[in-house]
Amino acid sequence: MVVLNDNQHTAHLNADFANVLDIIQDYRGKALQTINHASVMTAWHVGAYVSNKIKNAQWGAKVVQQLAEYIHTQDPTLKGWSRRTIYKMVQFYDVYSSEQFIARATTLKLLPASQEIVPIASAQIDATEFVPFQSAQLQFLTKTTWSNHCSIFQRCTTIDQYIFYILYAEYEHLQNKELERAIKADTYSRMLNDKKGQSEMLKTTYPQTQLLLKDKAILEFLGL
């Protein structure tokens, strides 16, 4: 039996404790990923359902308010389901199911070029059953949290900005406050306007290519 001195014993305990902490943090991270995935999927499907009702002139602003009140009445434990939140989900769905986003995401290779995407509204089977989008689209949206998506929609205006900050938040592992600081500092413009950051080969070979595709950071985000 090996007898350890106090320092050795402390070192061994610290190593054991570190192993336990690693286990806790590993499963905590997996739990947070699961929660994030569920939050984004909830926002997507609720947004799709309500968007379809609004586009078919079945619902108006008053009905959306009634929906928010109904949710609160039926389950008071569900927090944050205000009229404003529901409309954010509608915007979330409308933007990322739009032809403009699909075309841009395909160009950036975020979605496969051969992907056939049918909008939920046109693929509706009945009032409660929908044909889902291809998984690649939702996999992209779950790269960041629902809170981050809300900040992006609140502070950004273009699809390229939406895409950039989703990728940036994932790449830098940004929490919501960190992402908001990055958006406020206009990281998007600063990075894309930095001529030193552009790939010389792409800049020379493809002078007409849009700037977003010539930036080294964006290429790294996309794994190209």
Q: Which amino acid is at 38?
A: A
What values do phi and psi take at 56, rounded to 5? -90, 10
Produce one character per residue of 12-28: b if its CB has 16 or more CB atoms within 10 Å, e if not: eeeeeeeeeeeeeeeee
Q: The tokens 């990728």 sit on which residue?
A: 167
Give dist(CA 221, CA 224) in Å, integer.
8
Residues of the chain with pLDDT under 70: 1-4, 113-135, 193-224
* Verdict on whether the full-model pTM lies above 0.85: no
Write the pLDDT tens digit of every residue in 15-30: 888 999 999 988 887 8
